[in-house]
Amino acid sequence: MNEARRTPGFETLAIHAGQDPDPTTGAVVPPIHLATTYAQDDVGSHRGFEYSRSGNPTRAVLETALATLEGAPYGFAFASGMAAEDAVLRTLAPGDHVVIPNDAYGGTYRLVARVHHAQGIAFSPVELSDASAVAGSIGPRTRLVWVETPSNPLLQVADVAALAELAHSRGALLVVDNTFATPYLQQPLSLGADVVVHSTTKYLGGHSDVVGGFVATSDEAIAERIGFLQNATGAVPGPFDCYLVLRGLKTLAVRLDRQCQSALAVARFLEAHEKVARVRYPGLESHPGHDLAKAQMRDFGAMVSFTLRGGEPAALDVAASTGIFTLAESLGAVESLIEHPARMTHLSAAGSALEVDPALVRLSVGLETLEDLIDDLDRALGSIRS
């Protein structure tokens, strides 16, 4: 007689969902299937795979695993986060309108403003924490409300459940870029979102060695269209890349537990420092979205942004003076990174409504010894010349 079993927890699913031992060999790690084509038993009769752009067994394992972690019935892996976002935006038709956050990732802004806008998609950048501004920006042709929470690089927190309700009441779908939080910290579909996008390059891969993207959805019609676009446009990840993301997923929870703990300590250190004007970290009580983040997230993430009293010159000094925090774009991996968004990741938003304060510095807190990280920042802040 079967005993009732508890639902597997996140860590169990991250290691096992879709990842049963290989039926032919018993290998406990999904094989990397390099074949581009698959023998057919008869014309039109195959064993689930025909051609590797349309479907690949290693990619299928990743798609099952990550969709399961997002609580999604459908998931599609892409060659990059931008390719995943592009697929979602390609579901729109000329004349349609999308609401985007006024502090969206610079690449998202560029994709909407300089690629899809040129193809006839209208857009409005809006402050997502201002419900009446969001409501006012939704028109009869609005198809998508695009959310990033916590946002990049300002770490603003948006109310996913409230925005989903608002979008749905006006006939639009809610898309959440869950790159900063990951499904371990936040599950947008369970809060009412329709589509989740990821740059798997970040926490999901977790080791700065793979570029990838993902779309998860609970909407059957969207899933059908995204699946079509994945094959038709062909921006698919290679099997080795899929393997690397799968490998990263298995340790996501333990990595993030430690990274969140260190990020809070780093944020508290910065908040007490005389050269720092303002720290943006949702885990600080001073953060305007702290209570909301506490309600919709398991923990507050490992990204910390701060502005310097000395403005841009001080920000550039700090970014160039750390030793353990590496000056580099990207985020979410085991090594800590520092960057200057206005001149690096968000340069593509210069001169737009999404332009970033040049006094801002962004940190991705990694897994090094906490005391070393704080020491490193202390020294860098001490090097400010002005």
Q: Catalytic residue among 22, 38, 53, 309, which?
A: 53
Q: Which is nearer to ligand PLP, 202 or 298 (CB)?
A: 202
Q: Which is nearer to ligand PLP, 85 or 96 (CB)?
A: 85
For residue 53, indicate whether it is catalytic.
yes
Q: Which is nearer to ligand PLP, 116 or 276 (CB)?
A: 116
Q: What is the DSSP letter of 174?
A: E
Q: Where are the beta strands (DSSP E) in 230-375?
A: 276-280, 303-308, 326-327, 337-339, 360-364
Rounded to a whole number of angstroms, the minimum distance from the CB of residue 330 to ligand PLP is 6
Rounded-to-5 percentages of helix, strand, coil across the chain: 40, 15, 45
Q: Which is nearer to ligand PLP, 298 or 346 (CB)?
A: 346
Nearest to 64 by CA among 76, 48, 47, 50: 76
For residue 202, indicate whether it is catalytic.
yes
Rounded to a whole number of angstroms, the minimum distance from the CB of residue 26 to ligand PLP is 34
DSSP line for 273-308: -TTEEEEE-TTSTTSTTHHHHHHH-SS--SEEEEEE
Rounded to a whole number of angstroms, the minimum distance from the CB of residue 76 to ligand PLP is 14
* Tokens 């309600």 sit on residue: 295
Q: What are the angstrom distances between the C-alpha of 126 and each of 102, 121, 146, 159, 354?
A: 5, 16, 10, 14, 10
Q: Catalytic residue among 103, 177, 194, 299, which?
A: 177
For residue 225, indicate whether it is catalytic.
no
Helices (runs of H) and strands (runs of E) counted in the chain: 13, 12
Q: Catalytic residue among 105, 184, 203, 281, which?
A: 105
Tell me the one-letter amino acid at 211.
V
Rounded to a whole number of angstroms, the minimum distance from the CB of residue 106 to ligand PLP is 8
Closest residue to ligand PLP: CB criterion: 81
Rounded to a whole number of angstroms, the minimum distance from the CB of residue 245 to ligand PLP is 11
Main-chain dihedrals φ then ψ at residue 280, nearest 5 degrees: -115, 105
Q: Which is nearer to ligand PLP, 202 or 310 (CB)?
A: 202
The binding site for ligand PLP (CB under 6 A) comprises 80-82, 105, 107, 148, 152, 177, 179-180, 199, 201, 211, 213
Q: Which is nearer to ligand PLP, 276 or 344 (CB)?
A: 344
Q: Under a CB-based contact definition with an 8 Å cutoff, are residues 235 and 83 in contact?
A: yes
Strand 195-199 with 213-217, pairing: antiparallel
Distance CA 147, CA 333 (A): 23
Rounded to a whole number of angstroms, the minimum distance from the CB of residue 37 to ligand PLP is 28
For residue 278, indicate whether it is catalytic.
no
Q: Catalytic residue among 59, 90, 110, 202, which?
A: 202
Catalytic residue numbers read 53, 105, 177, 202
